[in-house]
């Protein structure tokens, strides 16, 4: 049984801005769900969201406002979560 605590990364200031820029560069400033352009003045979306979020490139994606709202508040939330997780898996295969 593994009782180790999951470490969450919390960045601030320039480090968080650098991560945001890296995520937007990787995603070419487009929403990973619908392909809409998103300026890098927006903040990336954490996946997983909520209390388990961590400031890591492998756990962040670009979402437009509409898809971000759907991810958090719509009946399609689980579908969008799956699309985001698949996208991240394609970029960061973990074995």
Domain locations in the chain as residue ranges: 13-91
The H or E element that residue 61 is part of is strand 60-61
Local structure of residue 28 (DSSP, 8 states)? T
Task: Give the pTM.
Answer: 0.90
Query: What's the CA gap between 79 and 67, in Å, rounded?
Result: 11
Supply the pLDDT for residue 4.
Answer: 63
Which tokens in the block code for residue 54?
């961590």
Which residues are 45's β-sheet partners?
61
Which of the pair, 72 or 93, is modelled with greater confidence? Answer: 72
**R_g over Cα of the chain:** 13
Residues 46-63 have pLDDT tens digits of 999 888 899 999 999 999
Supply the pLDDT for residue 95.
Answer: 46
Per-residue pLDDT at 2 exceeds 80: no
């Amino acid at each position: 049984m593994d009782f180790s605590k999951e470490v969450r990364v919390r960045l601030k200031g320039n480090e968080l801005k650098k991560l945001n820029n890296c995520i937007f560069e990787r995603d070419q400033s487009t929403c990973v769900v619908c392909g809409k352009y998103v300026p890098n003045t927006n903040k990336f979306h954490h996946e997983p969201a909520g209390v388990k979020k961590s400031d890591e490139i492998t756990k962040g994606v670009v979402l437009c406002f509409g898809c971000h709202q759907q991810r958090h508040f719509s009946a399609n939330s689980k579908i969008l979560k799956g699309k985001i997780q698949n996208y991240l898996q394609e970029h960061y295969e973990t074995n």
